[in-house]
Structure 1
């Protein structure tokens, strides 16, 4: 039996969008960080795991994520119409298999994206399985995306395997924020990065544990998550200048 390991992923690109609630045609939101269902879906695409098969093999991996660069929210307002002047067709079909009409000549929708964000995600589990996932992510079967097909990832996507646990790997990994973002922050020798990971005693409940990716029967359940800020080295010297506003009040 092979030992355990942690696979680290660098999730970065111009746009990302991680759905954290039921998708609506007119409004599609994004979570502020990658969801477990989104990252497991990314892995399933890389290894060519059938969508109608259970994703439990990958969904059972322990998951964590660190926010290295939070990015900003982008709102995309869309208007769609039929160039022939007719009504927009629905995604549903009638008994004869013909698409139904929506009854509207124009459809409006709003979609949200994270722009210029960088995350480090971690998957913990059996080493042999993670080695296969690592190899697949370097040479994926299907096109990979950061939540939606219009959001391709930048390279490198995989950072390789590490020893230890999700939390220890996230704490030890170098800061992957872009140089422009680093210069915009006034930091010392370390920076506290928002991080979270699966924990049976976690104080937060998220509804992004995938049960089925079948397009006709998509299902998710909840998972418990612990969240804290991990100190990560910045590479800057420690100038010893600690900002303590309460010191001005004599505390």
Structure 2
């Protein structure tokens, strides 16, 4: 287990930026045995769990130093929803157990006998998020090093969802919102070219249009926020998994695209091009 470096009063605060991208991600806020859902963006429990794994914390270890960290999520590429079909059976050919148990606490077999059970799992495919974690500089510096050389494998919500590299983009001395606003768009060159080509067609041009900045949606942890999410972890102990609520606010941020030769725009931000209110719905 990693020992976090204690921060001194002069350390101040910083923001650790994490690029959360991979073939598939799954950020569930509720699940049942036969249905595992995913939210549209990373949860605080998922991000804290990733940091805890990187630092080498066991599930039973307290999260006291990680719980006060504040989280912001920027949606750089919303991805699309993937439904994965699963079947479950006993390799010995025995009937599957049911939820009910006997007086001795042993699960009863299904009646009538059921040898195969269907489960459904949902994932986000080809999604890219920028996560900003705000807190004491000393603690975040330790977590930054841990993410770069993790004690346990990192996952994007579920263990079957490994991230692409790099995950850590380093520390920034800025507010949570400013760090998300000023970091460049994290999509691939191919996705950026496709966006520019579509933008040119939308503007009825005979060429791609490369804006200097575009708008992207973000969710920021804010004690005065007007929305509540029940995804803040208290304990990952398998026998005592506990979560609590946190307040957030949703906004749009104008971010740099980093195209090599961006087209000039009237106000330095191509708001009309980048602000798509239906983007998260996949429309």
C-alpha deviations, 1:119-166, integer Å up to 9, x for none?
Answer: 100111111100110011111111110000110000000000001111
Secondary structure at the aligned position of 1:57 is classed as: coil
Q: 1:5 aligns with which of 9, 14, 17?
A: 14
Secondary structure at the aligned position of 1:8 is classed as: strand
Label 1:89 to 1:33 Cα distance change in 2 as closer, same or farther (>3 A).
Answer: same
Aligned partners of 2:84 and 2:159: how far apart in 1?
Answer: 15
Determine if contact 1:69/1:181 at 8 Å carries over to the other structure: no
Determine if contact 2:254/2:271 at 8 Å carries over to the other structure: no
Label 1:102 to 1:174 Cα distance change in 2 as closer, same or farther (>3 A).
Answer: farther
Aligned partners of 2:94 and 2:61: how far apart in 1?
Answer: 39
Q: Which has the higher strand share?
A: 1
Instruction: Say whether 1:213 aligns with 2:264.
Output: no
For 1:247, the equivalent position in structure 2 comes to: none
For 1:88, the equivalent position in structure 2 comes to: 96
Instruction: Say whether 1:144 aligns with 2:167.
Output: no
Label 1:31 to 1:181 Cα distance change in 2 as closer, same or farther (>3 A).
Answer: same
Aligned partners of 1:76 and 1:94: how far apart in 2?
Answer: 33
Secondary structure at the aligned position of 2:47 is classed as: helix
Moved over 6 A (4+): 90-97
For 1:122, the equivalent position in structure 2 comes to: 132
Label 1:211 to 1:102 Cα distance change in 2 as closer, same or farther (>3 A).
Answer: farther
Q: TM-score scaled to structure 1, two decimals? A: 0.89
For 1:51, the equivalent position in structure 2 comes to: 59
For 1:195, the equivalent position in structure 2 comes to: 218
120-129 vs 51-60, which moves further: 51-60
Gaps of 5+ in 1: 245-251
1:93 deviates by 8.5
Aligned partners of 1:211 and 1:56: how far apart in 2?
Answer: 8
For 2:263, the equivalent position in structure 1 comes to: 237
1:167 deviates by 0.5
1:90 deviates by 6.8
Q: TM-score scaled to structure 2, two decimals? A: 0.79
C-alpha deviations, 1:18-77, integer Å up to 9, x for none?
Answer: 0122x2011010010000000000011111122123213112101101001110000001
Label 1:135 to 1:116 Cα distance change in 2 as closer, same or farther (>3 A).
Answer: same
For 1:248, the equivalent position in structure 2 comes to: none
Aligned partners of 2:100 and 2:51: how far apart in 1?
Answer: 29
For 2:189, the equivalent position in structure 1 comes to: 179
**How many residues are paired up?**
242
Aligned partners of 2:150 and 2:100: how far apart in 1?
Answer: 31
For 2:203, the equivalent position in structure 1 comes to: none
Gaps of 5+ in 2: 1-8, 200-209, 274-283
For 2:75, the equivalent position in structure 1 comes to: 67
Q: 2:24 aligns with which of 15, 21, 30?
A: 15
102-111 vs 62-71, which moves further: 102-111
Aligned partners of 1:243 and 1:222: how far apart in 2?
Answer: 34
Aligned partners of 1:180 and 1:210: how far apart in 2?
Answer: 36
C-alpha deviations, 1:64-109, integer Å up to 9, x for none?
Answer: 0100111000000111222432113579998878x63552311111
